[in-house]
Structures are given as C-alpha cells and as structure tokens.
C-alpha cells in the first residue's frame, strides 16, 4: 500500500482511494484490462466506483506514466503497468553509514537522478548483518 501511495506522490498525483484501487488491481493482474474489465473487477471486490470515475482515474494514471495503454486496431484500449522488464536496477554497496550520513547520501543520490532525468521508482536500504 505504501508503495502505491509513494508512486502516486512521485508522479505528482494526489493519493485517492480511486487511484489506489485501480493501481492495486493492475498490480495484481497479469493480463491487460479494458476500462469495463477494471470496473467489473473492482465491483466484485466491493469497490463502489463509477465507470466515469474509472475513466478519469485511468486517464490520470496514463498521463502520469504509472500505467500503460495499448490499443490494437479497432479494439478497446487495454491498460496495465508499464513493462517491468524495461526497468533497470541499480545496486550500491557502501560501508557503514550513520543515519545522518545516510540521509545526506540519499539526498545527493536523488539530486543526481533528477539531474539526469532518471525516474527513481523505488529506493530500498538494506543493512548487512
């Protein structure tokens, strides 16, 4: 849930129940879904969102780059999360840092990513045993 909220905030979108519900549903699905399929699946999960709301939410999420839209010929547009295989992982290993040093390091790392227009999707810090 926190990951979904973080991605919405990073994309400059307000965290709403509707946006979170659609994003979580698309994370759980392996197949691309049409707007109507999204509506039906959310309805089965007792998410009472109107079809118009789902159209607006999906449009916002596509514009923000959080979900991808696919349309083949005259078929209905289908939506899913962008292809995860195109994402790259950067693994940095460093010596022990104090919490103050860690905060400074993360700030400088984020500044470098912004400078090169790299979209930082997730940041995870693991301490070795």
Question: Which residues fall in the annotated binding site?
Answer: 94
**What is the block-wise mean pLDDT of the chain (129 residues), using blocks of 10 residues?**
83 93 88 92 93 96 90 81 62 80 86 80 64
- Over the chain, what is the mean pLDDT? 84
CATH says 2-84 is which class?
Answer: mainly alpha
Say if CB 50 and CB 57 are below 8 A apart: no
Give the domain ranges of the chain: 2-84
Whether this prediction's pTM lies above 0.85 is answered by no
Q: What percent of the chain has pLDDT over 90?
A: 38
Question: Which residues fall in the annotated binding site for Zn(2+)?
Answer: 94
Cα 81 versus chain centre, distance: 7
For 104-124, how does the pLDDT look when each residue is reduced to its tens digit (9 = 90+)? 888 888 888 888 877 766 666
């Amino acid at each position: 849930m926190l990951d979904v909220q973080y991605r919405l905030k990073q994309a400059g979108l307000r965290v709403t129940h509707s946006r979170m519900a659609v994003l979580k549903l698309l994370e759980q699905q392996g197949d691309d879904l049409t707007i109507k399929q999204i509506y039906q699946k959310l309805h089965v999960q007792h998410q009472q969102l109107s079809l118009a709301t789902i159209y607006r939410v999906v449009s916002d999420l596509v514009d923000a780059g959080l979900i991808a839209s696919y349309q083949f010929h005259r078929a209905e547009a289908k939506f899913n999360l962008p292809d995860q295989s195109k994402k790259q992982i950067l693994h940095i290993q460093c010596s022990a840092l104090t919490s103050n040093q860690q905060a400074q390091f993360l700030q400088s790392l984020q500044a470098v990513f912004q400078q090169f227009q790299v979209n930082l999707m997730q940041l995870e810090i693991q301490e070795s045993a």
